[in-house]
A and B are shown apart, each in its own frame.
Chain A
Amino acid sequence: MEEGQIRIVVNLEEVGFLDSSGLGALVGALKRVNERGGRLVLACPEGSPLKVLTITGLDKVFAIHDSVDDALRG
């Protein structure tokens, strides 16, 4: 992949649980993708995972979309 051409959508639709270890993995991935000029966005977080993202303020750090289609377009 060339720089600037990376766009990763993490589909959280079937993720029912997310703790700080999972957040750490997402933040680490976001950092690596950003360093290569790409984008990493989240799709479909609901329930407890969305609550964790909100509590930690990471809902402001990640671009979050309601559907995978929106995430791919956005």
Chain B
Amino acid sequence: MNEFNENDIGTLLRLKRHEQPPPDYFDNFLHEFHRRQRAELLRQPLWRIALQRAQDFMLQLNVPTLTSYPAAATAVVVCAAVLSLKVYQTPESATAMPAVATVAVQQQAAPVAVSVASTVTDDDESWSLSTRDFGSTPFRSVSDGARTHRPAASPRYVLDSTPVSYEPSLRF
């Protein structure tokens, strides 16, 4: 009696091809597959279904051929960052500019006010009015202070000669 050789093993195993499921099994397999897919779809959360729909939509647009996903994601992040910087910085700079201008004007005006205060008296209305016009009033130099003497002031006289009483007595 011969032993099983390798060919016999192969032949025996090939006979296993004749083990077949019931005749209608393959006909019903596709229906069963669809039924299971529907059941699985119903078990999925809503957000996942929405995500899949979005992916399908993007695939229909053929977006992946235009650019790779990482590049697209990076571009979106960069754009979002630039936009957010512009959006959040523009109003602040717009409000900051007048403030800076005000400070600058005040810094310019401060010496004027000081100089005016030092040279003009309280009862001179014209000077006080004119000094409020910060843009047009020029700085006044200290040397101009001589012209500010009021005309009503009493004249001062300087004696060039020494008093008689201080003159030395005559010597003969």
Q: Do A and B come from one complex?
A: no
Residues on B facing A (Cβ under 8 Å): none
